[in-house]
Amino acid sequence: MQHDDVIWDLIGNKSFCSYKVKTKTQQFCRNEYNITGLCNRSSCPLANSQYATVREEKGLCYLYMKVIERAAFPARMWEKVKLDRNYAKALEQIDENLIYWPRFIRHKCKQRLTKITQYLIRIRKLTLKRQRKLVPLSRKVERREKRREEKALIAAQLENAIEKELLDRLKQGTYGDIYNFPIHAFDKAMEKQEEETESEEEEEEDEEESGTREFVAEEEFEESDLSDFEDMNNLKGSSDEEEDAEEQSSEEEETEEELEEEKTKAKSKGKTPLKGPVRKKRAYVEIEYEQETEPAQKSKAT
């Protein structure tokens, strides 16, 4: 019937085979019905009249057998047998269908079936796991967004906005009585030491915290913080009214100031963590203190 040898003679070595792919060390066969994928005398589907393969379609395996009597009708040449989903049963089916066929083809078909089932299992496992979706970034868009971000940052003027917001909140009184600017000096820590009046008890919550803060602050605010907030102790608001300071308090202030000054001098090299106005080293200190006889002024109109 078919002259297999003649065909192989031609397409194998001498002449041209359109399915053949040659590499340095090997020859591959691109024919979809090829069982091994290599270009060999025994695996060439064109040069063997008795040939079979196993192929997979949409998760199902089929056994394809070549019926050489229909060589004249290539579209109907391959006989398709659906194999069972069960691996063991499928093997039996192959055996049963290819019962008197050459060993080589039977063996290769079973090998192929094994491989196919293995990769189908792996596919099913992977789909259950989390799949990472890669989203492509458009370079132009990214560049544009970066530029826009820079411009938005400049337009935002963040520090000014934050300061403004904080000052607004202070004016509105969300901070309650912690900071008593309009009439009295800020320096809570200092005041706490001298004052024993009921005014402290009025703001007991804040005072307690601020009282504790006084001690904790000295540890928390290590020297760098003190140098940051060195102006803390010598606040002189432009609108603040001046009041007489008690002698004792002033003495204590001075001693503390001196300490702080020393510290700041020691740490002065290059440390300018806060914004401009705080940086200057002041020569003097003016602190307003409320007198014990004026507790009423402490309450802030909120």
Binding residues for another protein (CB under 8 A): 129-130, 133, 138, 141, 145-146, 148-149, 151-153, 155-156, 158-159, 161-163, 165-167, 169-171, 175-176, 178-179, 181-182, 186, 209-210, 213, 220, 222, 224-225, 228-229, 231-232, 235-240, 272-275, 277-278
**Residue partners of 1: CB distance under 8 A and separation at least 6:** 49, 68, 71
CB of 163 to another protein, least distance (A): 5
CB of 293 to another protein, least distance (A): 24
Considering beta carbons, is residue 85 or 143 the nearer one to another protein? 143
CB of 204 to another protein, least distance (A): 14
**Residue partners of 240: CB distance under 8 A and separation at least 6:** 181, 182, 183, 184, 185, 288
Helices within the chain (DSSP H only): 4-8, 87-97, 103-128, 139-156, 158-172, 188-194, 198-202, 204-220, 223-228, 247-266
CA neighbor of 243 nearest in space, from 188, 289, 299, 285? 289
Cα torsion angle, 219, 220, 225, 230, sign: negative
Considering beta carbons, is residue 21 or 153 the nearer one to another protein? 153
Considering beta carbons, is residue 59 or 273 the nearer one to another protein? 273
Considering beta carbons, is residue 20 or 298 the nearer one to another protein? 298
Considering beta carbons, is residue 108 or 188 the nearer one to another protein? 188
